[in-house]
Amino acid sequence: MVDFRRLKDADVSGKTALVRVDFNVPVTETGAVAEDTRLRAALPTIKALQEAGAKTVLLSHFGRPKGKADPSLSLEFVTEPLSKLLGNPVAFAKDCAGASAKSAIAALNSGDVLLLENTRFHAGETSGDPDFSAELASLGDLFIHDAFSAAHRAHASAHGIAAHLPAFAGLAMERELDHLSQALEKPKAPVLGVVGGAKVSTKIDLLKNLVTKLDMLAIGGGMANTFLAAQGHNVGASLCEHDLADTARQIMDNAKKANCKILLPVDVVTSVEFKAHAQSRTCGLDDVGADEMILDAGPDTVNTLADAIDHAKTLIWNGPLGAFELEPFDTGTVEAAKYAALRVKCGQLIAVAGGGDTVAALKHAGAADNFTFISTAGGAFLEWMEGKELPGVQILKAS
């Protein structure tokens, strides 16, 4: 397991805790919170700090204001729904630094919660400016990082503060790190990876890292077409990065050297139209028409993947097997996800998943609730899987 400083290791009583959260929430057309998962994720840490008698000061970014104050990207709208979820009032400061922030913090009593204005209203946030980091750090006594989704950025509020204050993982961060460590660093073998999505070009580093760590790697979605084409199969009018054929072959060679078995589609579902309920057919790899697009994995491919899931003890999933947004091209993803969820429910598999499309696909399949852990961190999850050092995690490691 990753060795890092946890919230239970911190003495917070009577102190001001600066807590990095991720309140970059989706909003409705009227400017209200459309989905409150990220607010709920912060509640356990906030409540733990309240119970321990700390003053809790929340830091977050929202949108891309490019280093200047933008009223349309103010975080103030979050305070009301957060207050309702928390069951306590949440104060708001008109700035995340300077006199406004200091006076708002000075007015807090033990157990109170304050949300500071959007950190990206300052140019020093995204550049990780040392002076701005020090200014933020001057507002508190210790730093709690509870936003794994921001851990891959060396921003002031997610990394720079730790140069001045003792840093600890919040409870959401702790849960994320523990589960990801369980899946990639010290997993129960055999380990199976499922990687899908549109393009190989966006996941080259991911694939190169995974073939050195996994026993089996199933490749699906549009990116599988590039591997099939590299093997000499005709993929018709499918999305395919033909210029990456050499890269695909190199990844397959590296997998062979590392004793990682690559699982590619053995049959596919095709159509001449990219739309829901389009006429489709299932065919073999060498029977794809010149005007046809491969839009899903076929039933034999799903059965092969199910056999691999049966054999695996740990599953890491990133990306759909097909165009899951369009019926009937969601079938492969749905059937495979449901089968993995069943294995987890039976206590026979540890299944960890992450990435934007992955979360949506697993929810669409009705399988999300039965996976061991689903990360909503997006870019940070991918960089972790790529084997990269995350700045926001590095600062938490016990020395």
Instruction: pLDDT band for 181, please (50, 70, 90 cuts).
Output: confident
For residues 321 and 224, membership in a common domain is answered with yes
Residues designated as active site: 38, 199, 356, 379
For residues 139 and 211, membership in a common domain is answered with no
Residue 283 lies in a domain: yes
For residues 211 and 233, membership in a common domain is answered with yes
For residues 91 and 201, membership in a common domain is answered with no
User: pTM for this structure?
Assistant: 0.87
For residues 40 and 94, membership in a common domain is answered with yes
Q: In which domain, by residue range, is 59 found?
A: 7-175
pLDDT tens string 280-292: 999 999 999 999 9
Q: What's the domain count of the chain?
A: 2
For residues 257 and 335, membership in a common domain is answered with yes
Mean residue pLDDT across the chain: 95
Average pLDDT over residues 266-281: 97
For residues 18 and 66, membership in a common domain is answered with yes
Q: Which own/partner pairs from 252-257 qualify as long-range (CB within 8 Å, at least 24 positions apart)?
A: 252/227, 254/208, 254/211, 254/212, 255/211, 255/217
Q: What is the CATH number of the domain that holds 204?
A: 3.40.50.1260
Q: What percent of the chain has pLDDT over 90?
A: 88
pLDDT tens string 202-239: 999 999 999 999 999 999 999 999 999 999 999 999 99
